[in-house]
Amino acid sequence: MQVQKTALYDTHKNLGAKFVSFAGYEMPIQYKDGIVKEHLATRQQAGFFDVSHMGQFFLEGDNSLENSLEKIIPTDLKNLKLNQSKYSFLLNDKGGIIDDLIITRSKKGFNIILNAACKENDIKQISKYLSSNHKSFLNNDLSLIAIQGPQAVEILNSIIPNVDQLIFMNGEEFEFDQEKIYITRSGYTGEDGFEVSISNQKVEKLINSLVAKGVKPVGLGARDTLRLEAGLCLYGHDLNEDINPIEANLKWAIPKKRREEGGFNGYEKIKKDLENGSEKIRVGIRPEGKIIARENTKIFSKEGEEIGIITSGTFGPSVNSPVAMGYVKTKFSEINTNILLEVRGNKYAANVAKLPFYKKSYVK
């Protein structure tokens, strides 16, 4: 399969990006300053991310569209307000997570942001639940840009007035260079920030305006360290089709009404785990010392019983220590439980830690 490029490929090149192949796209992993500096720039000032490889999937239809989508997405779409966004999932018939996503109510129906590696399968899965009077399309003519960090609001507001009026997980239509664009106050770094859906023709002009005002380009490397510090899951690592939202410690993303009424894929399994507790659960993990426990590192109890596995692990530049997430048998999931991590044949001390590692700063 031919590797795809986003509309900003040449811009990234000019900014000194080092590229990797990711989810079928040639994407910047880092720029000249390196991952740690990009990470800290996002935490302290503002950084921009090209996330145009993700799918912008649009669904249009009457009220029956809500009923159809609620069979596969366990959120309360009937009470989702216009321009409001929710974090949710696509579920298989066992309650496993096909993908995690952001769904927003639009004037004509719903917009869903899908993970890059999953988008084709996601569309196939969603389409099974749509009827002939529902229209759906993936819009490849749009780019998606995230601007994140404490200075993001001030800088973006100077380019696109009134974005500072948005609150977290809400969006609105704005104008940039005589074109309508859509902006939500959201992101995946733990920082305040925005995601901008803009045409491929105008996106370079927007980026040049941001860079001129001191916004740093940030690659996939720092995107990963930022989201892990914020305790946020990465699909294909912390989430997959064999893990349900209760095991993933994401019960909060299923509203109480839906937890009680059900009516979505895998509800029986999810209900059982809600009532009895799941056998395993996602936790934060702090290795002691400087050892970094990468994905697939085995987790043991202090008595030596194998109790789980690391799904994400790195060094957290903002907290100045190694951080990780993984799944353990639920009886070992209490905060401060002493555990052992097997790295290169040796066992190292660690503790179950409270998530997130870094305090989030969203504007509610």
Say whether both 230 and 287 belong to one domain.
Answer: no
User: Which residue among 277, 298, 314 closes a domain?
Assistant: 277
Give the dihedral of Cα atoms 245, 249, 253, 254; nearest 10 deg: 50
CB atoms within 10 A of CB 289: 9
Q: What is the CATH number of the domain that holds 315?
A: 2.40.30.110
Looking at the structure, do residues 271 and 285 belong to the same domain, yes or no? no
The verdict on 316 and 186 lying in the same domain is no
Q: How many Å apart are CA 42 and CA 189, to the nearest integer?
A: 8
Put simply, whether the predicted model's pTM sits higher than 0.85 gets the answer yes
Give yes or no: residues 142 and 231 share one domain. Answer: yes
- Are 223 and 283 members of one domain? no
Let me know whether 107 and 35 are in one domain. yes
Do 165 and 175 have their domain in common?
yes
| Proportion of the chain above pLDDT 90, given as a percent | 97
Q: Select from 277, 305, 320 the last residue of a domain.
A: 277
Q: How many domains, the chain? A: 2
Residue 235 sits in the same domain as residue 287: no
Domain holding 68, by residue range, is 1-277
Assess whether 210 and 196 both reside in one domain: yes
Which range (8-12, 37-41, 59-63, 307-311) has the least confidence?
Answer: 59-63
CATH code of 80's domain: 3.30.1360.120
Which of 247, 277, 307 is the endpoint of a domain?
Answer: 277
**Are 284 and 270 in a shared domain?**
no
Q: What is the pLDDT of residues 242-276, one digit of tens each?
A: 999 999 999 999 999 999 999 999 999 999 999 99
* Distance in angstroms (rounded) separating the CA atoms of residues 309 and 299: 5
